[in-house]
Amino acid sequence: MIVIFDLDGTLLNTIDDLGYACNYALEHAGWPTHPIEAYPAKVGNGINNLIRRALPEADRTEENIQRVRTHFVPYYNEHNCDYTRPYDGIPELLKTLKEQGYRLAVASNKYQAATEKIVNRFFPGVFDVILGEREGIERKPNPQIVFDIIDRLTGETDCQLLYIGDSLVDMETARNARVPFVACSWGFVPRDQLSAAGAEHIVNHPNEILQYCK
């Protein structure tokens, strides 16, 4: 079985580093900043969409997004592990899955360079495939990232898969790829919102994921 994990809000609590990077970029580009606790509602669908939501509504043009991004990316590249940490129980879950022979992958909407750096910093040698946002490939909820993971690991269309994520984007990605989905309640989307959106399987601690890996 291949177990695919989302990154932000699933494996790692990255919100502080994302928030500080976005505030740095907004300030340097001339826009107001936000409290860090406001950022869970702004993340999802990649860095450009984070910036779009952080900008004043009247200023959400592609030109302005790119202007802020030019400040965001260099800062985040240097500071993306300052406050980021694995959620409690995640390292133990990954260790157990590796010992039991599961193939593990990351599917993220964070740009590829940052995805690889962060995953390799906190989980060296754990994941068989690490994929983030790549030029020319549509972001989640487009299922292409799931198909690319399958192709790199097996090339078989009928292999067993499980997708773990914390967001509605993850749930839609799994649905589009026709892959079983388990939602985690410790991430950036509240449990009641996941449930209201139709998530059938929601776990409150990483060790509960093991019951679905059979």
> Is residue 6 located within the same domain as residue 19?
no
How much is the pLDDT for 97? 97
Q: What is the mean pLDDT of residues 131-148?
A: 95
> Is residue 103 located within the same domain as residue 56?
no
Using CA atoms, how far apart are residues 131 and 177, in angstroms rounded to an integer?
16
> Is residue 6 located within the same domain as residue 64?
no
DSSP state of 139: P
pLDDT digits (tens, 9 = 90+) for 46-72: 899 999 999 999 999 999 999 999 999
Which among 79, 98, 126 is the end of a domain? 79
Q: In what order do the strands lie in the sheet with 2-5?
A: 129-133, 103-111, 2-5, 161-165, 181-184, 202-203
Q: How many helices, marked H, and strands, marked E, lie in the chain?
A: 8, 8
Q: Are 131 and 115 in contact (CB under 8 A)?
A: yes
CATH number at residue 45: 1.10.150.240
How much is the pLDDT for 37? 95
What is the overall mean pLDDT for the chain? 95
How much is the pLDDT for 157? 65
> Is residue 94 located within the same domain as residue 124?
yes
> Is residue 21 located within the same domain as residue 9?
no
pLDDT digits (tens, 9 = 90+) for 152-163: 998 776 789 999
How much is the pLDDT for 154? 86
Using CA atoms, how far apart are residues 166 and 80, in angstroms rounded to an integer?
20
Give the angle subtended at the CA of 29 by the CAs of 26 and 30, to the nearest 5°.
Answer: 85
For residue 193, pLDDT beyond 70? yes
**Residue numbers of the domain that contains 54:** 15-79
> Is residue 69 located within the same domain as residue 106?
no
pLDDT digits (tens, 9 = 90+) for 90-123: 999 999 999 999 999 999 999 999 999 999 999 9
Q: What is the percent of the chain with per-residue pLDDT over 70, rounded to a whole number? A: 99
Which among 36, 57, 79 is the end of a domain? 79
Q: What is the percent of the chain with per-residue pLDDT over 90, rounded to a whole number? A: 95
Using CA atoms, how far apart are residues 63 and 164, in angstroms rounded to an integer?
34
> Is residue 104 located within the same domain as residue 173?
yes
> Is residue 123 located within the same domain as residue 168?
yes
Using CA atoms, how far apart are residues 159 and 61, in angstroms rounded to an integer?
42
User: For 179-186, which contacts have Cβ atoms below 8 Å and span 24 or more sequence positions?
Assistant: 179/4, 179/146, 180/212, 182/209, 182/212, 184/9, 184/10, 184/209, 186/9, 186/87
| Number of domains the chain is built from | 2
